[in-house]
Structures are given as structure tokens and as C-alpha cells.
Amino acid sequence: MRMRCALGAAMLMLAVPAVSVTWAEEGPITVVGWGGNWDKAYKEGVWDRYTEKTGTKIVIEEWAGEIAKVRAQVQSGNVVWDLVAAEAPSVEIGCAEGLFEPLPASVTGDPASYLPGTIHECGVASDTWATILAYNADRIKGEGPKSWADYWNVEKFPGKRGMLAQAQYTLENVMMADGVPPSEVYNELRKPGGVDRAFAKLDQIRPHVVWWNTSTQAMQNLASGEVVMTDQYNARVSNDIEKEGKNYVIVWEAGFFYGTDLWALVKGAPHREATLKLLTWFSEPQNQAGFSNLYAYGTGRKEAADFVAKEKLDQLPTAPHHIKHGASYDDAFWVENKESLEERFKAWLAQ
């Protein structure tokens, strides 16, 4: 009896790899997003609709954009992720290093039909987002901050401020607080002494800052009154206003920067063909729009806007009444300077 059991178990073990091999092609596809409500919006607005239509299962994982994790998978030959949403500079680096696969136009569609910066040799836009200044109107009654200079003005607006604990996305706000218009920020940062100027400005606000590493932390601090204002990703704030009825205000006119994350296909992805099919489907404008309808971030195809509700379009960073206050992140600046500036920022923080 025992013998037969063992034999049965052994046969089962032999059968399992066979089953998984037949599965491998059609998924489940592993997509890696930014977590939380972002992933939820992608699941409900995009992935579930694809699964419904084709039957291909999609598994969602989350990361914080650490390209080292992709590199570790590719170099060890043990790739478990198929599709990752990565920041544009990471896609640039990953593409050059061969961590991501180039996507043919047969998958992405005509590059000319995309908004500037939303299509790359190795990626297609997952979301266009902005880092904005937001405040809690329950804590700041009356007239709120109007500019990044106000964010630095602790006499006029007492209370702590939330700030992202990294150089990228923060130094831009610092320069705006120092009176530089968004369009000039990178020119000033590139000048000799430009970065020193930003760190000198940071020294001024330092005692009043509560640093954050994840949006959840920042929003929790804003809700509890630990901070009265914070820098944040725009949709995160819109989401809490809309879904949780929070009395937050996004100060678009203070100036903001926007950037694009891209879906990139990992080299050696276990379900490469299935993922390419998914990307082909995703590049249809009406399918991209599913995300923007649930979360206040834009996508790549110009025509996608035709499928997004009017009140949702108005919340996007790229809406005409917003974008006149903003400027685009300079990916080239960050590709060259990211490591050195992050290391300097980390050292500055710790001192």
C-alpha cells in the first residue's frame, strides 16, 4: 500500500512539470506595478477586461522601481517577471543594458500616435504622472499655500511638511521654491554650483520636514495632521479626495513636474509571447483609457483621451489648465546624475 502511494506521488511529481510546460505560453502573465490603488486601477480598468476577453490570467506583483531586481533576474537566468512598470530613466538604462526587450511597432502601433515621451524603444507608457504640492484644508484654514516658496514659509504656514526622502523629484521642487520657473530648473541645476544652491535651500527647511519613502506614509501623515502639507503624486491625492472624502487641495499653480513610467518586457520573460499579445491589445487607445478612467494619470496614445470621461481628463497633469504650470522631468539629467545625487542626498540626510 505504502509502495503504491509512493509510486503515485512520484508519478504526480513527474506530471506537474508537464502540466506547467503547457501552461507556460498562455500565462499567467506576471505584471509588476507600483502597488496600492495604482495596481487596483490597472487591475479593474485594464487587466480584468483582458482576462475576461481572452481567458489569459494576469498575476499582479508590486515593486518600488528597483532595477537591480530586474538585473538580478536577467543575470541569473531566473526570470519570473514578464512585464514591469518602470520609470523612464530606468527603462533607458535597462534598454541599453539589455534587461528589457525592444518592442516592435507591430506591438505598440505607430510611434507618431503617442504623446511625446510616452513611447520608447523598449517601452510603452503605463502612466503619465506628476509630483504636486498638496495641503490639508482642515489644518490650514483660510488662504492656503500658493507656491513652493509658501511651502518654505513656516511663519505664514506653521506646521511640519512632508517631503520625499530622495533627490530625484525633490530637487526640482527645491529649485522652484528658490524662485526658478519650472522650465529653467534643469538649466540651473546643470550650472556649476546649481546643485549646491539646491542643497543650501534644503538646509533652510530641514528642521520642519517629516521625510517619507512611500506614498502611504506621506498620506497617513497628511491625514493624521503630522504634516500640514506634502509633496505627492497627483493621483494619490485625487484618489483620497474622491474615495475617502478628504479635504485636500492640490496646488497645481505652485508649479509641478510630470513624467512617464513605461511598461517594459523583461528579457527572457517566461511568457514572452503571451505578454506581447497583451501589449498589442493594450496599445489600443480604448484599452489604455480604462486606467485613466479610474486613476488620475494619463497614458500614451493621443486618441486614448477620446475614451476618458471629461471630469477625469480635467484631473490629469496633462490637462490644458494644469500643464501650463508644469514641466517635464529631464530623463537625461537623471540618467547621468541619479547615483551621485542620490548618494549625496542620502549623506546630507544622515548628517
Partner 1 sequence: MTGTAVWTGAPSALRARPFARRFRGWGYAACVAPLVIFLVLTFLWPLGRFLYLAVDNSDIVDNLPRTVAALATWQRADGVPGEDVFGALAQDLADARSRKTDGIVAQLINQRLVGTRYLILKTAKLAEEGAFETAPRAAMLQHFPEWNRVEVWSTIADDSARLTDFYLLSSLDLRRTAEGSVAPAPAGQAVFVQVLLRTIWISVVVTLVCAVVALPVAHAIVAVGPTASRVLIALILFPLWTSLLIRTVIWIILLQANGPVNGGLQFLGIIVEPLDLIYTRTSLYIAMVQVLLPMMILSIVAVMRRTPKDYMKAALSLGAPWFTAWRRVQLPLIMPGILAGCGIVFVFSLGYYITPALIGGPKEQMISSFIAFYTNNTLNWGLAAALSIQLLLLLVLTWCALMLGRGLVARRSAA
Within 35-64, which residues bind partner 1 (CB under 8 A)? Answer: 64
Q: Which phi and psi (to 5°) does residue 334 adopt?
A: -75, -30
Sequence-ordered alpha helix ranges (H) in the chain: 2-24, 36-42, 48-54, 67-76, 88-97, 105-108, 148-152, 171-177, 185-190, 194-205, 215-224, 234-244, 272-282, 285-292, 310-313, 320-323, 331-350
Instruction: Yes or no: say if 147 and 254 are a contact pair by the CB < 8 Å rule.
Output: yes
* Cα within 13 Å of Cα(135), Cβ side: 24
Smallest separation (angstroms) from partner 1 to the CB of 277 = 25
Write the binding mask 72 to 101 for partner 1: x where contact by CB under 8 A, - elsewhere: ---------------------xx-xxxx--
Smallest separation (angstroms) from partner 1 to the CB of 240 = 18
Within 212-241, which residues bind partner 1 (CB under 8 A)? Answer: 213, 224-226
Q: Which phi and psi (to 5°) does residue 157 adopt?
A: -125, 85
Decide: is 342 part of the binding site for partner 1 (CB under 8 A). Answer: yes
Cα 172–chain centre separation? 17
Peptide bond into 28 cis (omega under 30): yes
Can you say whether residue 117 is alpha, beta or left, with left for phi > 0 and alpha for psi between -120 and 50 degrees?
A: left
Write the binding mask 127 to 166 for partner 1: x where contact by CB under 8 A, - elsewhere: ---------------------------------x----xx
Smallest separation (angstroms) from partner 1 to the CB of 292 = 29
188/226 with CB nearer partner 1: 226
60/223 with CB nearer partner 1: 223
Instruction: Yes or no: say if 99 and 92 are a contact pair by the CB < 8 Å rule.
Output: no
7/332 with CB nearer partner 1: 332
302/346 with CB nearer partner 1: 346
Decide: is 349 part of the binding site for partner 1 (CB under 8 A). Answer: yes
* Position among 21, 68, 155, 324 found at the interface with partner 1 (CB under 8 A): 68
d(C-alpha 45, C-alpha 308), whole Å: 11
94/182 with CB nearer partner 1: 94
Decide: is 247 part of the binding site for partner 1 (CB under 8 A). Answer: no
Closest CA to 237 of 317, 157, 147, 142: 317
Decide: is 332 part of the binding site for partner 1 (CB under 8 A). Answer: yes
* Position among 61, 66, 253, 306 found at the interface with partner 1 (CB under 8 A): 66
Decide: is 191 part of the binding site for partner 1 (CB under 8 A). Answer: no
Decide: is 350 part of the binding site for partner 1 (CB under 8 A). Answer: yes
Decide: is 111 part of the binding site for partner 1 (CB under 8 A). Answer: no
Which residue(s) pair with 83 in the sheet? 31, 265
Count other C-beta atoms under 10 Å from residue 30's C-beta.
Answer: 21
Which stretches of the chain bind partner 1, using CB under 8 A?
Answer: 64, 66-69, 71, 93-94, 96-99, 160, 165-166, 199, 210-211, 213, 224-226, 332, 335-340, 342-344, 346-351
